[in-house]
Structure 1
């Protein structure tokens, strides 16, 4: 039995598997030829000091050798000070569906002390970008998926939403069986093969957003290979994707109403959007209703109510985006007299939301990872309630949940995160994070025994490290570089909110 297969066997007890045969028993000796490969490094396109290589992985780690192999593209930025090099820091992208390949370069530029002592490595998760890529939709189908008004609860509108979700699933499956092997457990095994091929026994890890789920699974399945881990803006990885996503309508609405609307109202002299939070909300809702009756054309994009939702949702992730979002919202109020620069900014804002490639990984992973309620009647009722209470994100709930309701059953294992066998893990979260809401992060913190939580109080940005917060950065840098573990959970004050430049 190969070293990798022996290790999989040794940690199988940490993983609760839904299928009848344990993962380790199914892995067998079929992994040997993957371990025997060598990574051939070369310059990444236009990435300066960043190197890239192609790694061959099994299509299905639970049945290695069955089906065509996949390629996972990997990258590295070598430690700036080889004499002080202390190991490998693996980082991953969020989503699921975002690209991680080019991230080490920006990471090292933002944290040179960390980059001096670590080889910082990353990858495009299977299905993403330069790796073996999943395809579910054309550009036109992607636009159709978000067309119309998700708040429309008429029978015809609901049927249309459900049918577009069904068509999305058909499109994914028509593109081949790759989407069936896009789940967090498969990605975890890809990561550990990468570690093996780098020739190191342990890695340190940094992951934001979905990459907290990915990192928690990796640490649970391969605790002996984790030296230090930073999980930034944590999903509720102690439960299911359905549970995690059901909390997001509340947290996005909270961020919008309690943080953004008071901020834009404070600068009514700049944006003329309403001098109170209630007044600004009324202006936003009136514009949304007007876009439903008469959508606008911005470049090649049609801007209707769902597109207004999407742009606003995107702007909730980080307060640094608020001045740009507010300027675009203000321009919609005098569209007939906007300048060329205002229209260009609006076009960029409305075009920059997700993509067919992102969705082609996001939905397979979230649908494959953990079970979903497949009762469409339940989702019609649940989405009606969330549309009423939390319309910003709740309105699209039926579209997203229906995809997983139609998704074929998966044999992905259920991984119970406990923290057993791990060194202290550092977790970061803001109290009003819209995407990885604090309540879920607290549950994840309790599940990951021995972890330390850094709470960013008074803010709601998504992604805390390298976000200009000196308190957070100093804690993380000391942990990664010097191994300093906070004695207990601690709190950092949030960044000051932005001030408009005009």
Structure 2
């Protein structure tokens, strides 16, 4: 979850109101046989035991014998003599590919724990190697984009035309597919995967948006959940418009945390010791790049794109600080361009991930269809938290013009599950802390493990031994901690990184790898 005045053509006309589709599990249907998965070797240097396969699922789960689509799967098979069954893993998004995540999770868990599971990755419907995969406007994020802050009517119109054109293109290219790209449909796909694996129950481990997908699956099929781990938790009561506004304030706080970190290392970055003055220098850099993009690629929008990942993972801070310092102190642009390539340019060539992100979020829930509401809400947020408000607004504004009707989100409250394990950092920007508290309350019998003071997104399997011990214990025997406070257990955050010029330059390799797999959407 990301955490992006021409009139649309008739093909993408605004549709007001909302319609609720009944969950497929609530409809009467005859059993449909799902073919077992045929696995083939597809190992890589990093994950040599990885296998790949696919499964056919209904496009419309209310019509299980109708048109079929294909989901790409990956697997690291269990090696222990006794198996605990499949553990499905998801990196979030919506729109994130999970094929490589299976290899990462298998390698990052303790060997004795990983050996007990068939660890299953998957590309959700519409994503990556699943078929069909969607790509509404290839190169949609190619630089240089208009300044996100609509300080003039011309800038507002330029950004509005972009998002309206994107929505219209999706409507033209994928009119028959868009009504079936939503979280409920993706959750029903998981049950088809369960059947194809020949399992009576599945375990599930999801990050970010993957926590919402897992909670929806658990609501639809509570009896088919064996173990459920949710890390960096979406607030299901705010999907998706309110959740995105909440992100704006949290990311602004994380950007200021970066400024304070830079101030601690003035001897390295030479940007001063006052975080407020350093922040002012950052906005001055932004204003200069809006007029003259660095290397012809990094304008105001791209600068924000480059620094937003620092809100997800502080391991990127030293690289961002070096690029910032080089520009301010020597007007050198090469480091900024390199940082943009490394952290922000993932969508510049193709937009499959973003296309699915938009399709799912726009379909999942109601959005304001009146642009004046967006303008009012985002200017109000900008006054208090300017860092990424308008960048985030335009990232999501396609939903104001999306060419499908909307669904009503499920109430994920659940009292029918086995013990569930939740992980949440207190200063997470992409999925703010309140989401963890809310889901802890809604899932009866769940246990919440908090990383106190942590601001990274996706906190397990990234170097915090305390958190990982709770995860490994739960996956081994299903036991969860129980406490008397808001949280059932509290772990201290991992230390912030050091500048690259010190002996402690390298960040956790596991953390860096994980956050590369999670991407920067949510």
Query: Which residue, out of 426, 429, 451, partners 1:434?
Result: 429
Give, in whole Å, the separation in 2 of the partners of 1:36 and 1:441.
35
Give, in whole Å, the separation in 1 of the partners of 2:137 and 2:272.
39
Query: Which residue, out of 392, 397, 405, partners 2:387?
Result: 392
| Alignment map for 1:78-93 (pairs within 5 Å) | 78-81=77-80, 83-93=81-91
| Alignment map for 1:170-185 (pairs within 5 Å) | 170-176=168-174, 177-185=176-184
Give, in whole Å, the separation in 1 of the partners of 2:265 and 2:496.
12
Q: Is this contact kept in 2: 1:383–1:398, CA < 8 A?
A: yes
Confirm whether residue 216 of structure 1 aligns to residue 211 of structure 2: no
Query: Which residue, out of 66, 73, 97, partners 2:95?
Result: 97
Q: Is this contact kept in 1: 2:233–2:431, CA < 8 A?
A: yes
Give, in whole Å, the separation in 2 of the partners of 1:21 and 1:365.
17
Give, in whole Å, the separation in 2 of the partners of 1:342 and 1:366.
31
Q: Using the TM superposition, give the Cα deviation of residue 27 of structure 1 relative to its aligned residue in structure 2, in angstroms.
A: 5.8
Give, in whole Å, the separation in 2 of the partners of 1:22 and 1:413.
11
Give, in whole Å, the separation in 1 of the partners of 2:243 and 2:116.
35
Q: Is this contact kept in 2: 1:369–1:410, CA < 8 A?
A: no
Confirm whether residue 455 of structure 1 aligns to residue 450 of structure 2: yes
Stretches of structure 1 lacking an aligned partner (at least 5 in a row): 1-16
Give, in whole Å, the separation in 1 of the partners of 2:435 and 2:170.
30
| Alignment map for 1:329-408 (pairs within 5 Å) | 329-334=324-329, 344-345=338-339, 347-352=341-346, 356-408=351-403
Change (3 A) 1:72 1:387: same
What's the counterpart of residue 3 of structure 1?
A: none
Query: Which residue, out of 162, 165, 177, partners 1:164?
Result: 162
What's the counterpart of residue 6 of structure 1?
A: none
SS in 1 for 2:128: coil
Q: Is this contact kept in 2: 1:380–1:398, CA < 8 A?
A: no
What's the counterpart of residue 10 of structure 1?
A: none
What's the counterpart of residue 117 of structure 1?
A: 116
What's the counterpart of residue 4 of structure 1?
A: none
Give, in whole Å, the separation in 2 of the partners of 1:37 and 1:92.
22
Q: Deviations over 1:123-146 (max 9, x none)?
A: 00111110020111121x3326x7
Give, in whole Å, the separation in 2 of the partners of 1:138 and 1:493.
42
Q: Using the TM superposition, give the Cα deviation of residue 24 of structure 1 relative to its aligned residue in structure 2, in angstroms.
A: 4.1
Given the two structures, how large is their TM-score scaled by the length of structure 1?
0.89
Report the structure, 1 or 2, having the larger helix content: 1
Q: Is this contact kept in 2: 1:113–1:477, CA < 8 A?
A: no
| Alignment map for 1:254-293 (pairs within 5 Å) | 254-257=253-256, 259-293=257-291
Given the two structures, how large is their TM-score scaled by the length of structure 2?
0.86
Give, in whole Å, the separation in 1 of the partners of 2:367 and 2:494.
37
Q: Is this contact kept in 1: 2:297–2:337, CA < 8 A?
A: no
Give, in whole Å, the separation in 2 of the partners of 1:304 and 1:293.
8
Stretches of structure 2 lacking an aligned partner (at least 5 in a row): 1-17, 502-522
Q: Deviations over 1:204-249 (max 9, x none)?
A: 1110000000000011111001111110000102342112112000
Give, in whole Å, the separation in 2 of the partners of 1:337 and 1:218.
50
Q: Deviations over 1:379-423 (max 9, x none)?
A: 111111122221222122442343111113436453111122101
State the Cα RMSD in Å: 2.1
Give, in whole Å, the separation in 1 of the partners of 2:383 and 2:406.
35
Give, in whole Å, the separation in 1 of the partners of 2:303 and 2:284.
12
Query: Which residue, out of 124, 145, 163, partners 1:147?
Result: 145
Give, in whole Å, the separation in 1 of the partners of 2:43 and 2:405.
36
Change (3 A) 1:382 1:40: same
Change (3 A) 1:457 1:143: same
What's the counterpart of residue 23 of structure 1?
A: 24
SS in 1 for 2:471: helix
Give, in whole Å, the separation in 1 of the partners of 2:78 and 2:407.
36
SS in 1 for 2:232: strand
Q: Using the TM superposition, give the Cα deviation of residue 349 of structure 1 relative to its aligned residue in structure 2, in angstroms.
A: 3.8
Q: Using the TM superposition, give the Cα deviation of residue 283 of structure 1 relative to its aligned residue in structure 2, in angstroms.
A: 1.4
Give, in whole Å, the separation in 1 of the partners of 2:410 and 2:150.
38
Q: Is this contact kept in 1: 2:320–2:339, CA < 8 A?
A: no
Q: How many residues are treated as equivalent by the alignment?
A: 474
What's the counterpart of residue 200 of structure 2?
A: 201
Give, in whole Å, the separation in 1 of the partners of 2:199 and 2:462.
30
